Amino acid sequence: MTMRITSLEQLEAVGREGLQSLYPGRVRIAVGVGSCGLASGAGEVLTSTEEAVRVQGLDAVVRGTGCLGFCQQEPLVDVLVPGKGRTVYHEMTADRAEELVGVVAQGDAKADWALCRMVAEDWIIDGSQHPLASGEAAEPNGIPLYQDLPFFRKQCKIVLRNCGFIDPMSIEQYIARGGYRAVYKALTGMQPQQVIEQVAASGLRGRGGAGFPTARKWQACREAPGEVKYLVCNADEGDPGAYMDRSILEGDPHSVLEGMLIGAYAIGAHKGYLYVRAEYPLAVQTLEAAIDAAREHGLLGDDILGTGFHFDVELVRGAGAFVCGEETALLASIEGTVGEPRQRPPFPAHKGLWDQPTNINNVKSWANVPVVISRGAEWFAAMGTEQSKGTMVFSLVGKVTNTGLVEVPMGISLQELVYDIGGGILDDKEFKAVQTGGPSGGCIPQELIHLPVDYEQLTEAGSMMGSGGMVVMDEDTCMVDVARYFLTFTKDESCGKCTPCRDGTKHMLDILTRICDGEGREGDVELLEDVGKLTKEASLCGLGGTAPNPVLTTIRYFRDEYDAHVVDKKCPAGVCKALIQYSISAEKCTGCGVCDQQCPEQCISGQDKDPRVIDQDKCIQCGVCRDVCRYDAVIVQ
């Protein structure tokens, strides 16, 4: 039976219920069913596990969980045996899952499928540690410990504290791990102004990209005249290459709701909106369930936790427009019109939704808030750099060995991110650049690999923090093509309201396209710089104001690649089709014939074991031959 929580005792009672389901006193098998898990086959793994548990009569609980962050290794299956700890198995399949259940039923572990194990869990929200294994079971057994894996070692999970640790559909489990205590603390023991002061002292800055101090926004909105105030969670995570907000909403939706509750109390708002991208169906579903559960438990709605405070939220689905990540465009979209930005000031803190004072924060900013309140500003501010406190979540993707979501203290170097955590470049290729900040950011070259990552340093390097996308690029990535890629994006997504952005992005794209097509002219690079600077200066909103960044940084750091395209008509990375040719090395080719079977144009010839030859007149440079060749014999020049 669901109960409305009206006191701390009742909150703790629900927490105990959650604890019982988190650590059920029998085997617990959790399958990672976030979007990346599902895309890797977690759905079948879950079904097969359930089936095997039933058939083999194993006394076990099977459930879903969010993403642990190591998306590369999905599907992940996590087996908790009472007193023996948690073992995380990676790259699971339906067949393996079935076999694993048999092994677990025998009281064993399957060491060669194991990624790592946990003998204790840290609860960041209250700083406590919870042992999962005792005695001999806590001793080394050949499977590396979670905190010893290079991928996890340097991480500090504040925002991702519960992802992969709880069932996102269970509010009880969230409460069990200290959830909703921070909002209770704020509502019962702090004045709204004290909450803002704590957040100010913590140094928390907006995690959506621009890094504006969160408390200052809250203060402005609190002080703004107006009876009705609104709160918005910006979950329109539009930057390509970034998916941390999706993962949080899918893996720990209550952390965001709790953050919003605390913010609402501090600001004096009673209505909130969560604006979620259309492209994230699972996040929407999980969030809807979380909102329902919070309402049923009296954590949203009237008289929250018996304190008389009231606040409720509404979920709004985006309809596919990148510009809606910009706050004024997002507000327009919530109001039901097209998402076009408007001039600021007035800032939303004074005139936002339906002209009322409105405070907007990103998903990660909200998820940080409960921890700031619970652990205190001082604890939070001890992490990070002078001006950037706490942690940042990055999606470490692209040409890096270990891909996934990582949460690290601000100020960590790119080198540590790419090499220590990321395990270096895929296939031992040469590192070229890291792209941060999505279409608003830039590319940071090898020379700056020791750069400590925080808001200021990235901006100084010509890029920006953005929402945390970090795309690693190697020797096979063409930087001119990357610039063209981003401009294709921003030109399409420009809403068209102001001329500098609408025409500037188009003009830059036209120039980049002709450079990639081998028709670049002398002076094109300088022209790009001129148009870029102008677009940056004169655009109405952040979209146009940052759109030239990928162009300007690639010119700044990779001018030689532009010159190779314009002057020599060559694409050194072998990407731009008009400037390259595929051929087959007669020395390396074994004549296996896989490429000519796969070639869609049937333009590869050669008999038996003879080296293959590509007919250049017919070749469409689709690259499938290089994809399928196991001998590295296909050369691109």
Partner 1 sequence: MESEPAVEILERYAGDRSAVIRALQDIQEEYNYLPKEALEMTAQRLDVPLTQVLRAATFYKQFSLEPRGKHCINVCMGTACHVRGGQLILERLQRELDVEPGGTTKDMQFSLDVVRCIGCCSIAPVIRIDDDTHGRLRQNRLPRLLRRYAEEER
- Please report, as ranges, the residues that interact with partner 1 according to CB under 8 A: 35-36, 38-40, 71-72, 74, 237-243, 246-247, 278-281, 316-322, 333, 335-339, 395, 397-399, 403-405, 435, 438, 469, 471, 473, 477, 482, 485-486, 489, 493, 495, 598, 600, 622-624, 627-628
Measured from the CB atom, the residue of 25 and 320 that comes closer to partner 1 is: 320
Q: How far is the CB of 624 from partner 1 (least distance, A)?
A: 5
Q: How far is the CB of 310 from partner 1 (least distance, A)?
A: 22
Strand partners, 123: 128
Q: How far is the CB of 17 from partner 1 (least distance, A)?
A: 32
Measured from the CB atom, the residue of 287 and 405 that comes closer to partner 1 is: 405
CB distance 325 to 231 below 8 Å:
no
Strand partners, 29: 62, 79
Tell me the pairing of strands 431-436 and 469-474. Answer: antiparallel
Q: How far is the CB of 55 from partner 1 (least distance, A)?
A: 27
CA–CA distance, 78 with 114 (Å, rounded to integer): 9
Measured from the CB atom, the residue of 384 and 404 that comes closer to partner 1 is: 404
Q: How far is the CB of 244 from partner 1 (least distance, A)?
A: 9
Q: How far is the CB of 262 from partner 1 (least distance, A)?
A: 26
CA 519 to chain centre: 37
Q: How far is the CB of 616 from partner 1 (least distance, A)?
A: 18
Strands ordered across the beta sheet of 230-235: 312-317, 271-276, 230-235, 358-362
**Which run of H or of E encompasses 125?**
none
Q: How far is the CB of 609 from partner 1 (least distance, A)?
A: 22
Burial of 600 (0-12, 13-18, 19+ CB in 10 A): exposed
Measured from the CB atom, the residue of 333 and 388 that comes closer to partner 1 is: 333
Measured from the CB atom, the residue of 337 and 499 that comes closer to partner 1 is: 337
**Which run of H or of E encompasses 395?**
strand 391-398
Measured from the CB atom, the residue of 353 and 371 that comes closer to partner 1 is: 353
Measured from the CB atom, the residue of 18 and 398 that comes closer to partner 1 is: 398
Q: How far is the CB of 280 from partner 1 (least distance, A)?
A: 7
Nearest to 618 by CA among 635, 601, 634, 606: 601
Query: CA geometry: angle at 307 spanning 302 and 309, to 5°?
Result: 45
Measured from the CB atom, the residue of 317 and 514 that comes closer to partner 1 is: 317
Measured from the CB atom, the residue of 195 and 316 that comes closer to partner 1 is: 316
Measured from the CB atom, the residue of 534 and 628 that comes closer to partner 1 is: 628
Nearest to 79 by CA among 57, 55, 95, 63: 63
DSSP letter string, 338-388: ------SSSPTTTS-GGGS-EEEEEHHHHHHHHHHHHH-HHHHHTSB-SSS
Burial of 59 (0-12, 13-18, 19+ CB in 10 A): exposed
Measured from the CB atom, the residue of 244 and 589 that comes closer to partner 1 is: 244
| Amino acid symbol at 586 | A
Measured from the CB atom, the residue of 223 and 314 that comes closer to partner 1 is: 314
CB distance 175 to 18 below 8 Å:
yes
CA–CA distance, 188 with 179 (Å, rounded to integer): 15
Measured from the CB atom, the residue of 404 and 520 that comes closer to partner 1 is: 404
Q: How far is the CB of 534 from partner 1 (least distance, A)?
A: 25
| Amino acid symbol at 631 | Y
Measured from the CB atom, the residue of 379 and 485 that comes closer to partner 1 is: 485
Query: Which residues have CB under 8 Å from 472's CB, separation 6+?
Result: 396, 397, 398, 399, 400, 418, 422, 425, 431, 433, 434, 435
Measured from the CB atom, the residue of 318 and 548 that comes closer to partner 1 is: 318
In three-state secondary structure terms, 295 is: helix
| Amino acid symbol at 80 | L
Q: How far is the CB of 277 from partner 1 (least distance, A)?
A: 8
Strand partners, 604: 614
Q: How far is the CB of 166 from partner 1 (least distance, A)?
A: 20
Q: How far is the CB of 307 from partner 1 (least distance, A)?
A: 31
Q: How far is the CB of 494 from partner 1 (least distance, A)?
A: 12
CA–CA distance, 125 with 146 (Å, rounded to integer): 19
Q: How far is the CB of 620 from partner 1 (least distance, A)?
A: 8
How many alpha carbons lie under 13 Å from residue 44 in its C-beta half-sphere? 10
Q: How far is the CB of 500 from partner 1 (least distance, A)?
A: 20
CA–CA distance, 497 with 540 (Å, rounded to integer): 8
Measured from the CB atom, the residue of 339 and 544 that comes closer to partner 1 is: 339
CA–CA distance, 73 with 295 (Å, rounded to integer): 36
CA–CA distance, 202 with 181 (Å, rounded to integer): 18
Instruction: Please count the other Cβ atoms lying within 10 Å of the Cβ belonging to residue 470.
Output: 26
DSSP letter string, 63-111: EEE---S-GGGPSPEEEEETBBEEEEE-S--HHHHHHHHHHHHTT---G
